[in-house]
Structure 1
Amino acid sequence: MALLLRFPPHSIYLLRHTSTPPKLFTPPTQNKRLLLFSAAAMATPAAPARKVLVPIANGTEPMEAVITIDVLRRAGADVTVASVEKQLRVDACHGVKIVADALITDCGQNVFDLITLPGGIPGATNLKNSGILESMVKKQAAGGRLYAAVCASPAVALGAWGLLKGKKATCYPSFMEQLASTANAVESRVQVDGKVVTSRGPGTTLEYAVALVEQLYGKEKADEISGPLVMRSNHGEEYTIKELNPVQWTFNDGPRILVPVANGIEEMEAVMIIDVLRRAKANVVVASVEDKVEILASRQVKLEADMLLDEAAILSYDLILLPGGLGGAQAFANSEKLVNLLMKQRESNRPYGAICASPALVLEPHGLLKGKKATAFPAMVNKLLDQSEAENRVVVDENLITSRGPGTSIEFALGVVEKLFGREKALELAKTMLL
């Protein structure tokens, strides 16, 4: 089963202004000059968005690509996703399909404020083997502009291209020895050295993306973006969940997990949940509640589900998990078929859960939080009838699991892994991802 992401053409922003003549007691000539000055000032265009290139390849780590794209677009960057393959669609890790905006061959003459490489194997190797991308990043470095990489790509791509000489850099732990031959290797979660930014892996990508925002726009903008992400304050420490009324989650074969998607879902949350659970070898079914399998997520990322919910509803599930996003949560709440599935899940004492806006906008209005403790996105917590445990990042109450937002998505998914496979398995995955 595959998840297909499609990145549409960039949005166009329109500026509108009006000029009302000021009521000033001035001679006509001076008044006219003031009007002309006022109109000219109001017509001054906004500063152009910073241009960012995110190259992708077969074997790219989807979390690293999507998180970086999402966060940079939140900051207002004009992000171009470019395939280094011969076609727009690439086969990323964990069954995720990504369709780029353009081929790298179409981008060679463009100038970017930042070029940032996701990792993944063989994704990093495929990026390294792109002669056009190598030339572009070398010109980026020679021009004193930002370039960056995460996971395997600092060692496999940037290091191999000779672009980390004399620089402090970090990468995925298993590539540190290779990195040490081409850079001053350090074990930082995110390392900034001049115009070079590097990071370690999936679990450090949110920090990495926010650091890129700071490099492009400044610390004030980075702080503004990071707040709604609900990021961890204790990066690198062992994750925790708040569990009340513990019960054992069981499954016969699989387990089979339903992840519905809809227009307006938060793409980071959906991809992180799907990615982590597929790493744990769960059978994840991605189903669209819309009338077609392709949906438009909140940051204009197009996802293609495995099937429509009508088809998915024929099966039974060990667990149903709802990603968030305001528009997506509202679509879930309006889907009678999905609500019925959730009702049956509760009635049969099978697990279900939600993150971000979905606990407040889907579960609460339909009585699916009755008698349960839960959490939700901070701005939505006031919609919960019982807010007593809402400050926790992940809350498990019997067969219910809820969480807060993009920055808690990996912890949310690991909480599911812990309940299904045990904490040892969840901690093993957390270590692999460098949470």
Structure 2
Amino acid sequence: MPKVAVIFADGCEEIEGLSVVDVLRRLQVSCDMVGLDDIHVMGAHDIALTCDKVVGDDLLTYDMVVLPGGSGGAQRLRDSAQLQHLMQTRSEAGQWNAAMCAAPIALARYGLLTDTTFTMYPGMKDDIASETPGARFSEDMVVVDQDHKILTSRGPATALAFAFGIAEVLGVDPAPQKEAMLWNYLMK
């Protein structure tokens, strides 16, 4: 069974991170909540989160690392030299990485969006597209760039689609939870 880490930083968009954790755990995928600097994280909407562990070298052992957005959280992720090193190492090893909403700014800073198709929160794409060689923005809800093993999504309302996309990329069929969580009803 795949193993996923979702990285939480102060100021994160809670729904984006917790939706991924919730959906993956419902699908029996091992999913750890990992604090950027501490196991105690305060989300952008004053929701206190308690993570399972703190960022460390074991991030290299996960099948996918996920970065939720939220402006403050995304900036903290972007500015972490330790996380940058780990994510670059993961990318060089051909491992999957994902980010949504504002968090692709971190992937761009790390150099992981070069020549990649991506999506993110509206209004933020121009900074990445202009500063990242070959980066191509898409308005799709979820974008999977198979060549670079990068998965991105738009924002809070796309969190479930993002989580289902992560499961699919990892070879886990999300169909049972799409039905159980009323996703199929919503999409009608």
Q: TM-score, normalised by structure 1?
A: 0.39
1:405 equivalent among 114, 135, 155: 155
Give the whole-Å Cα distance in 1 for the aligned partners of 2:18 and 2:32: 12
Asked if 1 retains the 8 angstrom alpha-carbon contact of 2:167 and 2:174, the reply is yes
Corresponding residue for 1:299?
45
Asked if 2 retains the 8 angstrom alpha-carbon contact of 1:276 and 1:413, the reply is yes
Q: Per-residue CA shift, 1:256-281, capped at 9, x if unaligned?
A: 11111110000111110110111111
1:392 equivalent among 127, 136, 140: 140
- The correspondence of residues 185-196 of structure 1 with structure 2, limited to 5 A, is none
Give the whole-Å Cα distance in 1 for the aligned partners of 2:73 and 2:106: 10
1:309 equivalent among 32, 46, 55: 55
- The correspondence of residues 165-180 of structure 1 with structure 2, limited to 5 A, is none
Residue 6 of structure 2 corresponds to residue 266 of structure 1: no
Asked if 2 retains the 8 angstrom alpha-carbon contact of 1:262 and 1:332, the reply is yes
Residue 118 of structure 2 corresponds to residue 374 of structure 1: yes
Residue 36 of structure 2 corresponds to residue 289 of structure 1: yes
Asked if 1 retains the 8 angstrom alpha-carbon contact of 2:115 and 2:135, the reply is no
1:348 equivalent among 73, 84, 93: 93
Q: CA 1:371–1:388 in structure 2 vs 1: closer, same or farther (change >3 Å)?
A: closer
Corresponding residue for 1:339?
84
Counterpart AA for 1:363:
L
- State the Cα distance separating 1:403 from its structure 2 match: 0.3
Corresponding residue for 1:157?
none
- The correspondence of residues 67-216 of structure 1 with structure 2, limited to 5 A, is none
Corresponding residue for 1:93?
none
- The correspondence of residues 36-55 of structure 1 with structure 2, limited to 5 A, is none
Q: CA 1:269–1:314 in structure 2 vs 1: closer, same or farther (change >3 Å)?
A: closer
- State the Cα distance separating 1:387 from its structure 2 match: 6.3
Q: Per-residue CA shift, 1:53-89, capped at 9, x if unaligned?
A: xxxxxxxxxxxxxxxxxxxxxxxxxxxxxxxxxxxxx
- Greater length-normalized contact order (CA 8 Å, ≥ 6 residues apart): 2
Which blocks of at least 5 consecutive residues in structure 2 are unaligned?
184-188
Give the whole-Å Cα distance in 2 for the aligned partners of 1:294 and 1:279: 23
- State the Cα distance separating 1:315 from its structure 2 match: 5.6
- State the Cα distance separating 1:427 from its structure 2 match: 2.3
Asked if 2 retains the 8 angstrom alpha-carbon contact of 1:263 and 1:327, the reply is yes
- The correspondence of residues 418-433 of structure 1 with structure 2, limited to 5 A, is 418-422=168-172, 425-433=173-181
- Please state whether the residue corresponding to 2:170 is helix, strand or coil: helix
Asked if 2 retains the 8 angstrom alpha-carbon contact of 1:396 and 1:402, the reply is yes
Corresponding residue for 1:416?
166
- State the Cα distance separating 1:316 from its structure 2 match: 1.0
- Please state whether the residue corresponding to 1:364 is helix, strand or coil: helix
- Please state whether the residue corresponding to 1:353 is helix, strand or coil: strand
Residue 27 of structure 2 corresponds to residue 280 of structure 1: yes
Give the whole-Å Cα distance in 1 for the aligned partners of 2:41 and 2:169: 30
Q: CA 1:433–1:314 in structure 2 vs 1: closer, same or farther (change >3 Å)?
A: closer
- Please state whether the residue corresponding to 1:379 is helix, strand or coil: coil
Give the whole-Å Cα distance in 2 for the aligned partners of 1:294 and 1:384: 30
Asked if 2 retains the 8 angstrom alpha-carbon contact of 1:389 and 1:395, the reply is no
Runs (4+) off by over 2 Å: 312-315, 386-390
Give the whole-Å Cα distance in 1 for the aligned partners of 2:175 and 2:12: 28
Which blocks of at least 5 consecutive residues in structure 1 are unaligned?
1-253
Q: Per-residue CA shift, 1:248-300, capped at 9, x if unaligned?
A: xxxxxx3111111110000111110110111111111111112x311110001
Q: Per-residue CA shift, 1:129-167, capped at 9, x if unaligned?
A: xxxxxxxxxxxxxxxxxxxxxxxxxxxxxxxxxxxxxxx
Counterpart AA for 2:93:
S
- State the Cα distance separating 1:351 from its structure 2 match: 0.7
- State the Cα distance separating 1:336 from its structure 2 match: 1.5
Asked if 2 retains the 8 angstrom alpha-carbon contact of 1:265 and 1:298, the reply is yes
Whose Rg is larger? 1
Q: CA 1:370–1:314 in structure 2 vs 1: closer, same or farther (change >3 Å)?
A: closer
Counterpart AA for 2:36:
V
